């Protein structure tokens, strides 16, 4: 990787037109270790022009052409996975083993799922005397986050390519290096000039210019609800499509018949993976009031079992959170939880006592939480879980749905039929029953202020197409 000071435009690594060097900070040390060349609106204009020029030819490519391209990208990406993991470890603090086995592996999963989806995708169908055609929407702008950076890059780029779109990617300035490795792999795979472009930069500068750009036909954004609103507002002027995957405050309902030792432990450990920086993490654990004390003890033991520290040590479970801003936000909300009367079971303010630098957060469990408390309402985005007691199933469902978010929910029960009936009541885009394995082709996206549109597999491909009806079609 040698392109920190460049953008990738029209098949070449180019110097920025409006250079604005930006420090990349290692969250384990709090020290900058490199710089990227953040750009400006002129850099966006150049990249969009390249994508616009490349669109007519790429939109005419065949299914086979695109499948061959995706397979070539998968091959090149697999050669670079260790570099991707190394970048993620350094730039956003993921433990190296986790970065390789989970973070970088997600790219393989999404590419594989998209290849499978494209092989059987219906771009054309007949409805009576009308032919219905799905065509690529055009030039798309992609804005990706810092918490699962390569996951979100691949789950946007792959369907855009599969649909026949051209694109401009803006990765997070807090996690820009994995995007450089990805772009190098794209180049090595032979992506045609102008089809894929990448401009580094701040959301308020590069992201804003992309969102308002008249030659971008669609924006796909993953990030906070606050930033998503700004993207949608800027995009509204040109009436472009906006697909958004935003914040979450996911409920995890443990029904009375569940194995509490297993369900609570898995819920705590799963929620705190990636240092709690997952938008779909089960951050609100709803438990029967008469099992509250038992749940507290199990959650305490699970959180205390986590090793926080050196991201290169294979025994480390949690690294730092990604930035000073995120660390400060989490510390503020932990204090608010204590001030509002939630019971601090373990963890709390500050770093673990054996660490004197880095954005490390103590795995924190709050119990006796009410659903009107700040820590139950706001997305904390750190290793902080809230335990909320409920009186009966109806109250659990009501409280679980009483949120502005609706990205994911979780239901645990020994009776699968019962769990499914409760899952059907959840106002969320994904409901996970009894901690299932990852299903990459399943649609992913949210209700309410968690966004709109769906990603992954066929559903992601749908979002990058326009629908045309040829009425009175008589056949070939």
Beta bridge partners of 169: 142, 198
Write the DSSP symbol of residue 195.
Answer: T
Check if 304 is active-site.
Answer: no
Considering the candidates 86, 279, 386, 455, report the single residue annotated as catalytic. 279
Q: Which two tokens stand for residue 185?
A: 């792999």
For residue 68, give every residue at least 6 positions away whose Cβ sits within 8 Å of its Cβ, in sequence order, or none.
none
Helix axes 416-423, 393-401, angle to 10 degrees: 40
Nearest CA-CA partner of 389 in 284, 476, 317, 316: 284
Catalytic residue among 83, 245, 379, 455: 245
Rounded to 5°, the CA angle 466-471-476 comes to 95
DSSP state of 276: G
Residues in the chain: 476
**Rounded to whole angstroms, how far apart are CA atoms 406 and 404?**
7
CA 268 vs CA 275, 285, 300, 336, 359: distances in Å? 11, 9, 9, 21, 21
Q: 312: number of CA atoms within 13 Å, CB side? A: 4
245 given a catalytic annotation: yes
For residues 279 and 420, give the distance between their C-alpha atoms in angstroms, rounded to a whole number: 23
The rounded distance, in Å, linking the Cα atoms of 369 and 380 is 14
Q: Find tokens 């954004």 and name the residue.
A: 221
- Other CB atoms within 10 Å distance of the CB of residue 356: 8
Residue ranges of alpha helices (H) inside 126-200 are 149-163, 177-188
CB atoms within 10 A of CB 164: 25
Q: Catalytic residues, which ones? A: 245, 279
């Amino acid at each position: 990787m040698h392109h920190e000071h460049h953008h990738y435009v029209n098949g070449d690594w180019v110097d920025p037109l409006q250079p604005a060097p930006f420090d990349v900070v290692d969250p384990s040390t709090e020290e900058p270790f490199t710089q990227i060349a953040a750009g400006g609106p002129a850099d966006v204009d150049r990249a969009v022009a390249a994508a616009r020029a490349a669109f007519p030819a790429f939109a005419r490519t065949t299914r086979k052409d695109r499948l061959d391209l995706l397979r070539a990208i998968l091959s090149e990406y697999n050669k670079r996975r260790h570099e991707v993991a190394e970048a993620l470890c350094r730039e956003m603090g993921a433990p190296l083993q986790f970065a390789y086995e989970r973070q970088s592996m997600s790219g393989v999963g999404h590419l594989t799922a998209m290849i499978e989806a494209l092989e059987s995708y219906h771009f054309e169908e007949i409805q009576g005397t009308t032919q219905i055609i799905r065509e690529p929407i055009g030039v798309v702008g992609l804005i990706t986050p810092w918490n699962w950076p390569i996951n979100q890059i691949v789950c946007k780029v792959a369907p855009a390519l599969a649909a026949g779109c051209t694109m401009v990617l803006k990765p997070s300035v807090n996690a820009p290096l994995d995007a450089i490795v990805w772009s190098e792999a794209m180049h090595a795979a032979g992506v045609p000039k102008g089809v894929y472009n990448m401009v580094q930069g701040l959301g308020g500068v590069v992201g804003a210019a992309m969102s308002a750009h008249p030659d971008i036909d669609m924006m796909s954004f993953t990030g906070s609800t606050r930033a998503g609103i700004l993207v949608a507002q800027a995009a509204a002027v040109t009436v472009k499509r906006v697909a958004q995957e935003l914040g979450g405050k996911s409920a995890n309902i443990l029904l009375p018949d569940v194995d509490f030792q297993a369900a609570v432990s898995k819920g705590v450990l799963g929620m705190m993976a990636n240092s709690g920086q997952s938008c779909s993490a089960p951050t609100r654990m709803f438990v029967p009031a008469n099992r509250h004390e038992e749940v507290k003890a199990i959650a305490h033991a699970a959180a205390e079992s986590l090793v926080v520290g050196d991201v290169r040590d294979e025994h480390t479970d949690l690294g730092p959170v990604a930035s000073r801003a995120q660390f400060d936000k989490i510390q503020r909300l932990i204090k608010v939880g204590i001030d509002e009367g939630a019971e601090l079971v373990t963890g709390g303010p500050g770093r673990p006592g054996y660490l004197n630098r880095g954005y490390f957060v103590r795995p924190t469990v709050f119990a006796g939480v009410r659903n009107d408390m700040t820590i139950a309402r706001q997305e904390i985005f750190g290793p902080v879980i809230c335990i909320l007691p409920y009186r009966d199933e109806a109250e659990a469902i009501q409280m679980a749905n009483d949120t502005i978010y609706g990205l994911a929910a979780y239901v645990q029960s020994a009776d699968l039929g019962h769990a499914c009936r409760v899952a059907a009541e959840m106002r969320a885009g994904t409901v996970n029953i009894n901690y299932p394995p990852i299903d990459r082709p399943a649609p992913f996206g949210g209700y309410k202020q968690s966004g709109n549109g769906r990603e992954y597999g066929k559903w992601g491909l749908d979002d990058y197409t326009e629908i045309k009806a040829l009425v009175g079609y008589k056949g070939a």
